Amino acid sequence: MSRPVRIGNISGFYGDRIDAAREMVEQGAVDVVCGDYLAELTMLILAKAQARDGGVGYARTFLTQVEQILPACVERGIRIVANAGGLDPAGLADAVRAVADEQGLGVRVAHVEGDDLRGDLAAITPPVGGTPVSANAYLGGWGIAQALAAGADVVVTGRVTDASLVLGPAAWWHGWAHDDWDPLAGAVVAGHVIECGPQATGGNYPFLDEITDRRYPGFPIAEVAADGSSVITKPEGTGGLVSVGTVTAQLLYELGPPAYLGPDVTTHFDTIRLEQTGAHRVAVTGVRGSPPPDTLKVALNDVGGYRNTMTLVLTGLDIEAKAAHAEELLFGILDRDSFDEVDVRLLRFDHPDAAANPEATAHLRITVKSADRRVAGRAFSNATMQLALGGYAGFHTTTPPTDASLFGIYRPAAVPRSAVTHTVVLPDGERCTVADPPEFATEKPQVTPPVRRGEQSKGPSRTVPLGTVAGTRSGDKGGDANIGVWARDDAGHAWLAGFLTPQRVRALLGPETADLDVEVFDLPNLRAVNVVVHGLLGDGVASATRPDPQAKGLGEYLRSRLVEIPEELLP
């Protein structure tokens, strides 16, 4: 199989567009379809579902997609690979077999397991206190490759890395060895590009003027060659855009240092090169890889307690005085110290002399947390309603009183590979242990500091939004937030790399980042820098109280800030 393997994504998260699978099979001319269903938050959601009587720990929507596409996949020889197994990959494998039986199809189903560490937490570092509701090591793609080599038509997994859904099929297709570091790294990059579905094909893209086809974007396809290079494209006739810009945006999503540590290979994102080779075709080349670390990343989710939020609407004049009065009255009724955490945020949407009533409003968002549901529940939300007749002028809330809900706490950890048994269960029921890589990194990869250029420009400048010359894509990495920032040309990158120091990032993002550790990494081949804001999201999305708990809008906020930009860089 010397030609590139065409791998099409059909899901970027649990709850994504259902008919993406049918569209990909009917229009994508692919060899493999893959779907990513597992975010850190999803593991907590699946753990709650599994704990209920008769609950299942896998992504049910995947079965709906399988029902829609299985006959066509069998007819055309298209393989299906997905991490939708969540906390019960064996159960999902059985469910897929049941769907195949109902449709009268002979389908060979395999699954990958070994990531669930809830039965033995002793080797995890830092040590685990209590009993987490989920504890999963991030496995690699070799179990998937082994299942496909054994003839599996469908492979379902638990917690593997998102990129493993591409690395596994590519390694199987091309017959790579476990130490083919550069090809493996190339497959990781291709997997990282397509893992979030249409985010690579124009979705969430900041330069809307570049997208001339405004229909819902087609889901992405990676054509992965034997040397690990790839071409990113999408099915013929679908909406959106595949360009160097859209691929760059997705490459920067949820990224940390340029040395991207994975279970199969360390991928060096500062070696990636992109080139537009045709309409909706971007070549990804030059990717270098090196041995992975001797530990695996672990995602832990705990139940943190209960939380409740009430949002008070403030209108017109004296917004800050009204907010202070409301907070004082509320915590005169309630004992502030009875809560484990109180978060009060005044969100200003109001304008002076507003032309319409909604444009004169601000929100006072109050969130409380407690281990006691009664404390965080109706006792809190009902107390806010006592301000209805005795509070500030114009009092009303966005919702009626609400009850408390459980929230989770995410913790990253690590585990020695020797404590994890990466297992593939083949279609005939044989259980095989998946081999570890033949060697591991002996030291932490070195990070090249950004080249600080462009700040010494003596030419004229103008005060304009940063987004005039830069695009961004932001997201969450557990409790950290990242913002990938890229320029459209080399001169723009040279200025950007010098301009976005950690100190300037903190100044532009405002008070909530003032005391946080900020790192900035340069990616010159992508004309980009990657900003990591440590601790902005606290204990992760399930626990965060900021209005944008996954930092999805943080990059667009950064683009909106007014800065001095050399005129020679402006359009």
Instruction: State whether residue 163 is helix, strand or coil.
Output: coil
Reading the chain (571 residues) residue by residue, the pLDDT tens digits are 589 999 999 999 999 999 999 999 999 999 999 999 999 889 999 999 998 877 899 999 999 999 999 999 999 999 999 999 999 999 999 999 999 999 999 999 999 999 999 999 999 999 998 899 999 999 999 999 999 999 999 999 999 999 999 999 999 999 999 999 999 999 999 999 999 999 999 999 999 999 999 999 999 999 999 999 999 999 999 999 999 999 999 999 999 999 999 999 999 999 999 999 999 999 999 999 999 999 999 999 999 999 999 999 999 999 999 999 999 999 999 999 999 999 999 999 999 999 999 999 999 999 999 999 999 999 999 999 999 999 999 999 999 999 999 999 999 999 999 999 999 999 999 999 999 999 999 777 766 555 554 445 668 999 999 999 999 999 999 999 999 999 999 999 999 999 999 999 999 999 999 999 999 999 999 999 999 999 999 999 989 899 999 999 999 999 999 999 999 999 8
Could you report how far apart the first and last alpha carbons of the chain are, in Å?
47
228 to 175, 189, 191, 456: CA distances (angstroms): 12, 9, 11, 40
- Ranges of H-type helices in 252-338: 319-333
* φ, ψ (nearest 5 deg) of residue 535: 80, 0
Distance CA 331, CA 118 (A): 40
DSSP-derived secondary structure letter, 479: T
Cis peptide preceding 126, ω within 30 of 0: yes
With beta carbons less than 8 A apart as the criterion, state whether 176 and 155 touch. Answer: no
Instruction: State whether residue 148 is helix, strand or coil.
Output: helix
Q: How many CB atoms lie within 10 A of CB 12?
A: 24
With beta carbons less than 8 A apart as the criterion, state whether 473 and 484 touch. Answer: yes
With beta carbons less than 8 A apart as the criterion, state whether 569 and 492 touch. Answer: yes
Write out the two tokens for 173. Answer: 């297709």
> Tokens 């540590």 sit at which residue?
261
Residue boundaries of the structural domains of the chain: 5-293, 309-395, 461-569
pTM reported for the whole predicted model: 0.95
With beta carbons less than 8 A apart as the criterion, state whether 305 and 407 touch. Answer: yes
